[in-house]
Structure 1
Amino acid sequence: MTTSEFTYGGQVIEFFKHDEKEFSELLDQKISRYNDNSEGLYFKEPAANIDWVRNKPINTALLELQEEWRKGYTLISSQYHTLDFRAQLRKPDKVIKSELRTLTEQVRADYERSRYERNVSETHRQVEITLSIKRRKEEAKAAAGLAAALAALQEDEEAALADLRRAYAEPACSQ
């Protein structure tokens, strides 16, 4: 099985299959974050809203803001302090739909990459478990062989000792 740049079945086993529920939850989180945040000085990721700031007199700032309204942006909130006009604008629906498509593709790619990395890690873990089991079996087999060799050696020693007892147990001939 292959998915775009990630190949399964050779060096990597697909332990973690694609889970649509998991993907949907991740996508919902990203979409929620997209809708709640504003692009601006502090948040650089795409968002449905933008922070629009002008350090100009209010009449000049409002003239520039009209241009944004013509482009389809809508005003959510605004504040004005001396030579500091701040507004939060919502992007036009066409832009939001386009960015959401891009966001969905990005989330799908990130999910597939994350899933592949988990599968790589799990494949390595399973290989280590298999090798560990094999080593333990070989060690047990070697230990059993060593025990058998020691038992045979002990039997040989006992037989030699028994031969010596028999040989020296007979009384010596006197002349």
Structure 2
Amino acid sequence: MDYLIPKDLPYEFLKSLGISTVERVSIEPFSGSKKVECYNNVLKFLETNSGEIQFGWSFSQLGKIVLKLTGHVVIKLPDGSFKCVTPSEHEVSEIYFYPDNSIIASVNESRLPAKVFALVDNETVNRFVKFENLQNKMRLEGNELAIELIMHDKYLLSSKLIETFNAYND
């Protein structure tokens, strides 16, 4: 099970988080841009092109049970529109993006934050989300040992999570 770029976002849930405007941003990688290096890709692009850095969140989902907001950086073009110059990990041509420069405060050595939310009220999903958020915190801190321990706990939960995923996604 992997997080995937959703076809439709859970807009009512997003409103409960205070997110009301979500942009659809096209992905237009340039020669030399690399997956998972959005910040560096944007800096490199801006060396020879106009625009500015725009921090924010991209969205992915684990079926209908978990929503993940991942810190992401795109180009804000002079006309106010956005362009993503980082190749997709999911082979899509556009992403959902919520501009939010407040995440700059959470950036640690070019590592961008992530937030994970349960979309259903389920004990297994809630435990998984707790592990995901803790793992993201440890990733920002660079705590590899803690990440390994959390990954083990997630592995132990995986069979129950798969059952829950299948129950909500049939």
- Is the helix fraction higher in 1 or 2? 1
TM-score (ref. length: structure 2): 0.21
Q: Which has the larger radius of gyration?
A: 1
TM-score (ref. length: structure 1): 0.20
Q: Name which structure has the greater RCO, CA cutoff 8 Å, separation 6+.
A: 2
